[in-house]
């Protein structure tokens, strides 16, 4: 056992001696490492402080511009609403104008149809009048010519107001009426020749 105690004491002495010899080496290594960590920590603290300052400045800018941005957004929305209202009013005005134009076209069409009916009736009356009294027929034919001229003018005016397909209908009606008027003139000329 003494030998065991002596061996233990020798081992303790060797460990202490190794500890004593290695202690400056470990102390220096730990100190260098600790200094590096402290420098890193100091750098990170500075970086964190800078970022905190920037964040505080950003909050100040946001607070300063918040009301300005709200006002700009409100003005932009108000401007857009005014534009939309103006567009709606313009469209309503156009619709009203278009309805007015359509009503005018409708009235012209009614007058045109009435003139055609009147001219047809007049043509029939003239044909009967020519057969009965060819002497008065010349006056009646002059009336028909003036009525037909007025009808042609009304037809041209109506064609300007309508689309192309409707204007061909008007041309067809005018051509039919021209044929009828020509028929009346021919009948008048024949009746006149037969009385001579």
In a domain, 124, yes or no: yes
Instruction: Report the 3 state secondary structure along 141-155.
Output: HHHHHHHHHHHHHHH
Give the CATH number for residue 164: 1.20.58
In a domain, 177, yes or no: yes
CA distance 22 to 34: 18
1 vs 190, more confident: 190
Q: Which domain holds residue 141?
A: 105-195
In a domain, 23, yes or no: no
The total of other beta-carbon atoms located within 10 Å of residue 37's CB is 10
CA distance 185 to 172: 20
- Burial label for 166, CB within 10 Å (0-12, 13-18, 19+), is middle
In a domain, 161, yes or no: yes
The total of other beta-carbon atoms located within 10 Å of residue 192's CB is 14
pLDDT digits (tens, 9 = 90+) for 94-105: 889 888 888 887
pLDDT at 2: 65
CA distance 107 to 42: 93
Residue 31: phi and psi, rounded to 5, are -70, -45
pLDDT at 189: 73
The whole-model pTM stands at 0.41
Tell whether the model's pLDDT for residue 28 goes beyond 70.
Answer: no
In a domain, 62, yes or no: no
Which residue in the block uniquely carries the two structure tokens 């009385």? 195
Tokens linked to 18: 């190794």
Give the chain's domain count: 1
In a domain, 111, yes or no: yes
Contacts of residues 79-84 at CB distance under 8 Å and 24 or more positions apart, as own/partner, are none
pLDDT at 16: 64
CA distance 141 to 152: 16
Q: What is the CA radius of gyration of the chain?
A: 56
pLDDT digits (tens, 9 = 90+) for 35-55: 787 888 888 888 888 888 888
In a domain, 163, yes or no: yes
In a domain, 44, yes or no: no
pLDDT digits (tens, 9 = 90+) for 117-168: 877 787 777 677 667 766 666 777 777 777 777 777 777 776 676 655 566 7
Best CA proximity match to 118, nearest among 167, 181, 169: 181
């Amino acid at each position: 056992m003494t030998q065991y105690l002596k061996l233990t004491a020798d081992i303790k002495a060797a460990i202490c001696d190794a500890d004593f010899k290695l202690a400056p080496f470990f102390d220096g290594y730990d100190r260098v490492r600790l200094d590096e960590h402290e420098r890193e920590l100091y750098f990170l603290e500075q970086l964190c402080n800078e970022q905190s300052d920037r964040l505080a400045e950003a909050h100040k800018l946001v607070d300063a511009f918040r009301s300005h941005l709200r006002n700009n957004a409100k003005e932009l929305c108000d401007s857009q609403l005014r534009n939309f209202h103006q567009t709606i009013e313009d469209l309503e005005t156009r619709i009203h104008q278009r309805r007015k134009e359509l009503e005018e076209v409708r009235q012209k069409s009614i007058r045109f149809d009435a003139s055609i009916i009147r001219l047809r009736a007049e043509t029939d009356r003239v044909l009967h009048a020519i057969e009965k009294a060819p002497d008065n027929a010349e006056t009646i034919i002059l009336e028909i010519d003036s009525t037909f001229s007025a009808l042609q003018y009304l037809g041209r005016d109506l064609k300007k107001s309508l689309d192309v397909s409707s204007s061909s209908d008007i041309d067809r009606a005018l051509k039919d009426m021209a044929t009828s008027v020509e028929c009346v003139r021919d009948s008048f000329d024949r009746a006149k020749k037969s009385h001579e």
